[in-house]
Amino acid sequence: MPRGTFITFEGLDGSGKTTQMRRLAAWLTASGRTVVSLRQPGSTALGDRLRAVLVDSRSESALGPISPLAEMALMFADRAQAIAEIISPALAAGSIVLCDRYTDSSEAYQGAGRQLGSARILAMHAAVCNNLQPDLTLLLLPPLDAALARARRRNHRYAAAQPQSETQTEPQPADENRFERESDDFYARIHAAYLEIAAREPHRVLTIANDDSGDNSIDAIELRIRALVAPRLL
C-alpha cells in the first residue's frame, strides 16, 4: 500500500486556515480521494481533554498558571496520541491526511511566542513524533496587523455573547481564547518564527501571503491552495 499524503495548515489565529482546510477536504473528497481531517490540539479523546486545558481561557483560573514547558509537553502529548490513533494509520492506508496545525505551531507559539527556543521543540519532535514530517505545509500568513485585528474581533464577539449573570448554572460553551489574549509582541514573535520556518524549509512550507497584492477573497485563496496541492498528490 503506498503511503498517503500528509498536509498541514499553519498560521496565526484568525488567518482563515480552518475554513480553507475544510474547503480543500471537500474538494479532494469530491474528486474521489479518501481524506482524514484533524486538528491539533484535539481530535482524539485524550486530545480533546488536553485541548480544553490548553486553549480555554478559563483553565488557568481553575488550574493556576500553566508553565511554558508544561504547555509544550501537553501539545506534544496531544500530537503523539494523534499520530498513533489517526495520522499513522491513515497514511498507512493511503489516505490524504489534513491537519489543522502541527509541530510548526509548537515551534512558533512555544518556541518563539513563549521563548523556549526552536532547538527544544525540534528535539521534542524527534523524540515524541519520530520526526514525522508533513509532505506539504500550507502557511496562511496575512500581514500581522490584519491577523491580529481578526483574532481580536473574534475574542470580542465571544465576550459579548457571554451571559452576564453570576448565578448562571447552564454549562458554559468553550472559550477558546487563552492564546488570543496574549500581547501583540507574542504574536509578532510567532509571525517572525513562521517566516523563518518557511525560509528554512522552502520545499515543504508554501506560504500563502494573503497581502494587498491580488485577490484575497476566500474563493481566490481556495483556488491558489488547490493549485499548490494538486501537483503534490500521488
User: Which residues contact ligand TMP by CB under 6 A?
Assistant: 13, 39-41, 55, 75, 101, 105-106, 109-110, 176, 179
Q: Spell out the residues 6+ positions from residue 79 whose beta carbon is closer than 8 angstroms to its own.
A: 40, 41, 102, 103, 106, 128, 129
* Nearest Cα residue to 102 out of 221, 223, 32, 201: 201
228 exposure class (CB count in 10 Å sphere: 0-12, 13-18, 19+): middle
Nearer to ligand TMP, 110 or 210 (CB): 110
Nearer to ligand TMP, 135 or 180 (CB): 180
What is the closest distance, in whole angstroms, from the C-beta atom of residue 16 to ligand TMP in the complex? 11
Pick the closer one to ligand TMP by CB: 157 or 231.
157
Q: Which three cell numbers stand for residue 53?
A: 486545558
Supply the minimum distance, in Å, between the C-beta of residue 105 and ligand TMP.
4
Shortest distance (Å) from residue 2 CB to ligand TMP: 27
Q: Which is nearer to ligand TMP, 69 or 230 (CB)?
A: 69
Report yes or no: 138 and 198 within 8 Å, Cβ to Cβ. no
Q: Report the nearest approach of ligand TMP to the CB of residue 76 (Å).
A: 8
Name the residue among 91, 80, 108, 84 with its Cα closest to residue 12: 108
